[in-house]
Amino acid sequence: MPKTSARLLALLSLLQTRRDWPGALLAERLEVSPRTVRRDIDRLRELGYPIATFKGPDGGYRLDAGTELPPLLFDDEQAVALAIALQTAVTSGAGIEEAAARALNTVRQVMPARLRHRIDTLQVTAVEHPAPRPAPQVGAEVIMALSAAVHSREVLRFDYAGSPPRRAEPHHLVTWGGRWYLVAWDLDREDWRTFRADRITPRIPAGPRFIPRELPGGTVAAFVAARFRGSDGSGDWPCRGEVILGLPAAVVSRYTREGVVEELGPDRCRLVLGSWSWTGLAAAVGRFDADIEVVGPAELKAAFAHLARRYADALR
């Protein structure tokens, strides 16, 4: 029989791997008697672990949530994943950089030597995507308040960038381009909106509960992506054109995130792509470094002519 301390750690590790554990199965896994399991459960409870007992033919134990955070056990893969996530938290935009650094230091101190060495050799430099201006940070308390409103399906009352109080049904909290956004149904404007979380100041108390509406686009990812294209509310790019490229479809597909690629032959394909402007669209197509045939529209052909003159002038 293993020593009591080692057995307690093994028991705690098992309780963390699944929700319900029949007492007989725990005794079998630990190679002890059911009575020993009961005594060890009582010891863990004395240490602050909220372990509940459930009855039934296969009565057993369950590790529940408590009022305080007790010591946790992680397997090797979980510990490494946690360390990587904490090192890259600087790009989350949630204003938790200092807390993430302290959490990483805490986790590192209790790691076995073999894991600590692996973590120390992993030096991740989190570089944010270049932007015209730094993305504003969002306080962790605001993110938690918005998440709670989404989870409880309660109408959110909030101030927004100094405007009069707003009322909205919060549906999703998302990140896009280094910023946090709240996807919600605006009760005053009776339309879907994406609110920047850094401009939101939640009000207390929250409003009544609501029945979630069906989000346009099918998924929150599709809805948000459509909202950040074009400004005409159509959910599409303001400029969309079609060209034929002298490249295999497989090559073009690897470098096209939102375009539609159709194979026309071993070394030809059709590309339908969108952008904010016709000049930007022409430049995006030109980066493929291949022969280009413009199918349309006329605005895209004019944009290519404009770029040709500009590049010719650059040669002089």
Give the integer Cα–Cα distance in Å for 199 and 178: 15
Predicted pLDDT at 67? 44
| Among 240, 241, 236, 238, residue whose Cα is nearest residue 292 | 241
**DSSP per position, 86-155:** HHTGGGSSSS-HHHHHHHHHHHHHTS-HHHHHHHHH------PPP-SSPPPP--HHHHHHHHHHHHHTB-
- pLDDT, mean of each 10-residue run, the chain (316 residues): 70 77 87 88 82 78 64 67 70 63 70 72 58 63 86 92 87 79 91 90 88 84 71 64 89 79 86 87 90 92 92 86
pLDDT of residue 34: 87
Tell me the chain's radius of gyration from C-alpha atoms.
28
Q: What pLDDT, on a 0 to 100 scale, did the predictor assign at position 124? A: 60
pLDDT of res. 1: 43
